[in-house]
């Protein structure tokens, strides 16, 4: 449901961004945690190499996590 609302807002040109420093490693951890059951069900493994070198980016936290979720 949230994705439908987000798409509608994007189509209408209404986007509320809350830009701040977002650690990419933490965002990836959040998504892996959210997908924990699905990852286990698929007997898959997600490996993040060089986690300590991942940057902090200026982004909307919700948008960053949505993008990473869609990529995974």
pLDDT tens column, 18-52? 889 999 999 999 999 999 999 999 999 999 999 88
Does a structural domain hold residue 14? no
Does a structural domain hold residue 3? no
The boundaries of the domain holding residue 61 are: 23-72
Using CA atoms, how far residue 60 sits from 13, 46, 49, in Å, is 16, 24, 24
Percent of the chain with pLDDT over 70: 81
Does a structural domain hold residue 60? yes
Does a structural domain hold residue 38? yes
Domain tally, the chain: 1
Percent of the chain with pLDDT over 90: 62
């Amino acid at each position: 449901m949230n994705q439908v609302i987000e798409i509608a807002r994007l189509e209408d040109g209404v986007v509320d961004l809350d830009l701040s420093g977002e650690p990419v490693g933490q965002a990836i951890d959040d998504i892996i945690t959210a997908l924990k059951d699905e990852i286990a069900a698929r007997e898959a493994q997600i490996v993040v190499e060089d986690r300590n070198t991942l940057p902090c980016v200026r982004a909307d936290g919700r948008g960053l996590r949505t993008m990473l979720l869609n990529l995974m």
